[in-house]
Amino acid sequence: MLLTCDLAWGATLTWSPNVEPDLAGYRVYQCTSQPCGRANGTATLLVTLGPVTSFNIGTPSATRYYVVTAYDTTNNESAESAVATYSPPTSPPPAPTISAVPRTLSFAAVQGAVDPPSQQLTISTGGDGTLTWTATENTGWLSLDPESGSGNGTVTVRALAGTQAVGTYRGVITIRASGASDVVVPVTLTITIAPIIPPPTPMGLRLSPQ
Protein backbone atom coordinates (compact mmCIF):
# COMPACT_ATOMS: atom_id res chain seq x y z
CA MET A 1 0.00 0.00 0.00
CA LEU A 2 1.26 3.46 -0.90
CA LEU A 3 0.54 6.80 0.76
CA THR A 4 1.08 9.94 -1.32
CA CYS A 5 0.54 13.52 -0.23
CA ASP A 6 -0.33 16.74 -2.06
CA LEU A 7 -0.56 19.74 0.26
CA ALA A 8 -3.33 21.25 -1.86
CA TRP A 9 -5.56 18.14 -1.92
CA GLY A 10 -4.48 16.06 1.07
CA ALA A 11 -2.95 12.60 1.33
CA THR A 12 -4.14 9.65 -0.74
CA LEU A 13 -3.90 5.95 0.04
CA THR A 14 -3.46 3.69 -2.99
CA TRP A 15 -3.17 -0.09 -3.24
CA SER A 16 -3.02 -2.85 -5.82
CA PRO A 17 -6.38 -4.32 -6.88
CA ASN A 18 -7.49 -7.82 -5.88
CA VAL A 19 -8.41 -10.11 -8.77
CA GLU A 20 -10.96 -12.43 -7.09
CA PRO A 21 -14.28 -12.54 -8.99
CA ASP A 22 -16.35 -12.19 -5.82
CA LEU A 23 -14.50 -9.07 -4.60
CA ALA A 24 -16.97 -6.52 -3.25
CA GLY A 25 -14.62 -3.78 -2.08
CA TYR A 26 -12.23 -2.58 0.58
CA ARG A 27 -12.26 -1.22 4.10
CA VAL A 28 -9.82 1.43 5.33
CA TYR A 29 -8.88 1.45 9.01
CA GLN A 30 -7.15 4.25 10.90
CA CYS A 31 -5.00 4.07 14.05
CA THR A 32 -3.53 6.74 16.28
CA SER A 33 -0.67 4.52 17.50
CA GLN A 34 1.34 1.45 16.61
CA PRO A 35 0.84 -1.46 16.37
CA CYS A 36 -2.06 -0.74 14.05
CA GLY A 37 -4.58 -3.55 13.60
CA ARG A 38 -8.01 -4.86 14.55
CA ALA A 39 -6.52 -7.57 16.70
CA ASN A 40 -4.68 -4.95 18.75
CA GLY A 41 -7.85 -2.94 19.32
CA THR A 42 -6.25 0.15 17.87
CA ALA A 43 -7.92 0.23 14.44
CA THR A 44 -11.03 2.28 13.77
CA LEU A 45 -13.01 1.73 10.57
CA LEU A 46 -12.61 4.91 8.55
CA VAL A 47 -14.55 4.04 5.42
CA THR A 48 -16.04 1.11 3.48
CA LEU A 49 -15.42 1.36 -0.25
CA GLY A 50 -16.42 -0.44 -3.40
CA PRO A 51 -13.85 -1.99 -5.78
CA VAL A 52 -11.64 1.10 -5.97
CA THR A 53 -7.92 1.31 -5.29
CA SER A 54 -7.46 4.70 -3.66
CA PHE A 55 -8.88 6.90 -0.93
CA ASN A 56 -8.12 10.48 0.05
CA ILE A 57 -7.62 10.78 3.82
CA GLY A 58 -7.38 14.58 3.83
CA THR A 59 -4.68 16.24 5.94
CA PRO A 60 -4.80 14.96 9.53
CA SER A 61 -3.23 17.30 12.07
CA ALA A 62 -1.31 14.49 13.78
CA THR A 63 0.47 11.29 12.79
CA ARG A 64 -1.93 8.53 11.74
CA TYR A 65 -1.53 4.90 10.63
CA TYR A 66 -3.64 3.11 8.01
CA VAL A 67 -4.37 -0.47 6.94
CA VAL A 68 -6.69 -1.75 4.22
CA THR A 69 -8.66 -5.02 4.02
CA ALA A 70 -10.62 -6.59 1.16
CA TYR A 71 -14.11 -8.05 1.61
CA ASP A 72 -16.16 -10.25 -0.70
CA THR A 73 -19.82 -10.45 -1.62
CA THR A 74 -20.59 -12.58 1.46
CA ASN A 75 -18.75 -10.09 3.71
CA ASN A 76 -15.71 -12.26 4.33
CA GLU A 77 -12.81 -9.98 5.18
CA SER A 78 -9.14 -10.46 4.41
CA ALA A 79 -6.15 -9.91 6.64
CA GLU A 80 -4.84 -6.37 6.87
CA SER A 81 -2.38 -4.82 4.47
CA ALA A 82 0.96 -3.43 5.49
CA VAL A 83 0.75 -0.23 7.54
CA ALA A 84 0.98 3.14 5.80
CA THR A 85 2.00 6.09 7.98
CA TYR A 86 0.93 9.69 7.53
CA SER A 87 2.94 12.45 9.24
CA PRO A 88 1.74 16.04 8.85
CA PRO A 89 4.20 18.30 7.05
CA THR A 90 6.30 20.47 9.32
CA SER A 91 6.57 24.18 8.75
CA PRO A 92 10.01 25.31 7.62
CA PRO A 93 11.93 27.42 10.13
CA PRO A 94 11.59 31.16 9.61
CA ALA A 95 14.13 32.61 7.22
CA PRO A 96 16.99 34.53 8.83
CA THR A 97 16.68 38.32 8.72
CA ILE A 98 18.93 41.20 9.65
CA SER A 99 18.31 44.93 9.81
CA ALA A 100 20.16 48.08 10.85
CA VAL A 101 18.94 51.38 12.31
CA PRO A 102 19.38 54.13 11.29
CA ARG A 103 19.26 53.35 7.58
CA THR A 104 21.67 56.21 6.72
CA LEU A 105 24.47 58.03 8.57
CA SER A 106 25.78 61.53 8.06
CA PHE A 107 28.89 63.15 9.55
CA ALA A 108 30.15 66.73 9.37
CA ALA A 109 33.63 67.99 10.22
CA VAL A 110 35.80 71.04 9.82
CA GLN A 111 39.04 70.60 7.93
CA GLY A 112 41.96 70.19 10.28
CA ALA A 113 39.76 70.03 13.38
CA VAL A 114 38.81 67.04 15.55
CA ASP A 115 36.84 64.12 14.13
CA PRO A 116 33.04 64.36 14.36
CA PRO A 117 31.27 62.51 17.19
CA SER A 118 30.78 58.77 16.69
CA GLN A 119 27.35 57.32 15.94
CA GLN A 120 25.67 54.03 16.81
CA LEU A 121 24.31 51.50 14.32
CA THR A 122 21.81 49.12 15.94
CA ILE A 123 21.77 45.59 14.49
CA SER A 124 18.64 43.43 14.84
CA THR A 125 18.40 39.81 13.77
CA GLY A 126 15.51 37.38 13.38
CA GLY A 127 14.70 33.87 12.25
CA ASP A 128 15.62 30.47 13.59
CA GLY A 129 18.61 30.33 15.93
CA THR A 130 21.29 32.93 16.60
CA LEU A 131 22.53 34.78 13.55
CA THR A 132 26.23 35.64 13.19
CA TRP A 133 26.94 38.81 11.20
CA THR A 134 29.81 40.92 9.89
CA ALA A 135 30.06 44.65 9.26
CA THR A 136 32.34 46.03 6.55
CA GLU A 137 32.92 49.46 4.97
CA ASN A 138 34.31 50.49 1.60
CA THR A 139 36.08 53.73 2.51
CA GLY A 140 39.40 54.71 4.01
CA TRP A 141 37.82 57.08 6.49
CA LEU A 142 35.34 54.95 8.45
CA SER A 143 36.02 52.88 11.57
CA LEU A 144 33.64 50.14 12.79
CA ASP A 145 33.70 48.61 16.25
CA PRO A 146 32.96 45.74 16.46
CA GLU A 147 33.21 44.37 12.92
CA SER A 148 31.27 41.18 13.73
CA GLY A 149 28.81 39.80 16.25
CA SER A 150 26.02 37.34 17.02
CA GLY A 151 22.35 38.15 17.50
CA ASN A 152 21.32 41.72 18.22
CA GLY A 153 24.11 44.22 18.74
CA THR A 154 25.47 47.72 18.28
CA VAL A 155 28.27 48.95 16.01
CA THR A 156 30.07 52.19 16.84
CA VAL A 157 30.79 54.10 13.64
CA ARG A 158 33.50 56.78 13.53
CA ALA A 159 34.34 59.08 10.66
CA LEU A 160 38.06 59.79 10.51
CA ALA A 161 38.27 63.21 8.92
CA GLY A 162 42.02 63.42 9.42
CA THR A 163 43.67 65.39 6.64
CA GLN A 164 40.86 64.88 4.15
CA ALA A 165 40.36 67.75 1.76
CA VAL A 166 37.26 69.90 1.85
CA GLY A 167 34.38 68.16 0.14
CA THR A 168 31.65 65.54 0.48
CA TYR A 169 32.61 61.88 0.75
CA ARG A 170 30.24 58.95 0.36
CA GLY A 171 30.57 55.30 1.29
CA VAL A 172 28.53 52.36 2.52
CA ILE A 173 28.51 50.00 5.47
CA THR A 174 27.40 46.46 4.59
CA ILE A 175 25.90 44.18 7.23
CA ARG A 176 26.02 40.56 6.08
CA ALA A 177 24.78 37.28 7.61
CA SER A 178 24.51 33.81 6.12
CA GLY A 179 21.09 33.18 4.58
CA ALA A 180 19.87 36.76 5.06
CA SER A 181 19.73 39.61 2.59
CA ASP A 182 22.57 42.10 2.95
CA VAL A 183 21.82 45.43 4.61
CA VAL A 184 23.55 48.44 3.06
CA VAL A 185 23.78 51.67 5.06
CA PRO A 186 24.86 54.75 3.05
CA VAL A 187 27.28 57.07 4.89
CA THR A 188 28.10 60.70 4.05
CA LEU A 189 31.02 62.73 5.42
CA THR A 190 31.02 66.47 4.69
CA ILE A 191 34.21 68.43 5.41
CA THR A 192 34.05 72.21 5.33
CA ILE A 193 36.81 74.78 5.39
CA ALA A 194 37.67 76.28 8.72
CA PRO A 195 36.18 79.75 9.08
CA ILE A 196 38.63 82.61 8.58
CA ILE A 197 38.90 84.59 11.80
CA PRO A 198 40.05 88.17 11.24
CA PRO A 199 42.51 89.76 13.66
CA PRO A 200 40.95 91.55 16.61
CA THR A 201 39.93 95.17 16.23
CA PRO A 202 42.60 97.56 17.50
CA MET A 203 41.77 99.09 20.87
CA GLY A 204 42.81 102.23 22.73
CA LEU A 205 43.18 104.46 19.70
CA ARG A 206 44.12 108.09 20.62
CA LEU A 207 45.69 111.10 19.03
CA SER A 208 48.60 112.87 20.73
CA PRO A 209 49.46 116.47 19.87
CA GLN A 210 52.87 117.20 18.34
Q: Give the Å distances, CA to CA, from 210 to 53, 203, 204, 206, 207.
A: 133, 21, 19, 13, 9
pLDDT for position 23: 95
- Rounded to the nearest angstrom, the gap between the alpha carbon of residue 194 and the centroid of all alpha carbons in its chain is 49
pLDDT for position 4: 53
Largest CA distance in the chain: 150
Which residues have C-beta within 8 Å of that of residue 29, sequence separation ≥ 6?
A: 36, 37, 38, 43, 44, 45, 46, 66, 67, 68, 69, 80
Q: 10, 34, 181, 146: which is closest to 88 by C-alpha? A: 10
pLDDT for position 7: 46
Q: What is the DSSP letter of 32?
A: S
Q: Give the Å distances, CA to CA, from 38 to 2, 24, 29, 49, 162.
A: 20, 20, 8, 18, 85
Q: How many CB atoms lie within 10 A of CB 187?
A: 22
Whole-angstrom distance between the N-terminal and C-terminal Cα of the chain?
130
User: DSSP string covering 144-170, please?
Assistant: EE-SEEESSEEEEEEE--TTPPSEEEE
Give the span between the Cα atoms of 15 and 1, in whole angstroms: 5
pLDDT for position 31: 96
pLDDT for position 148: 96
Beta bridge partners of 5: 11
Q: State pTM to two decimals.
A: 0.57
Q: What are the mean pLDDT values of the chain's consecutive 10-residue runs (210 residues total)?
A: 53 92 96 92 95 92 94 95 89 87 96 93 89 95 96 96 91 95 97 84 75
Q: 16, 42, 14, 12: which is closest to 29 by C-alpha? A: 42
Domains of the chain in start order, with CATH, are 2-86 (2.60.40.10), 97-192 (2.60.40.10)
Give the span between the Cα atoms of 137 and 181, in whole angstroms: 17
Which residues have C-beta within 8 Å of that of residue 118, sequence separation ≥ 6?
A: 156, 157, 158
pLDDT for position 11: 87
pLDDT for position 8: 47
Which residues have C-beta within 8 Å of that of residue 178, sequence separation ≥ 6?
A: 96, 131, 132
pLDDT for position 68: 95
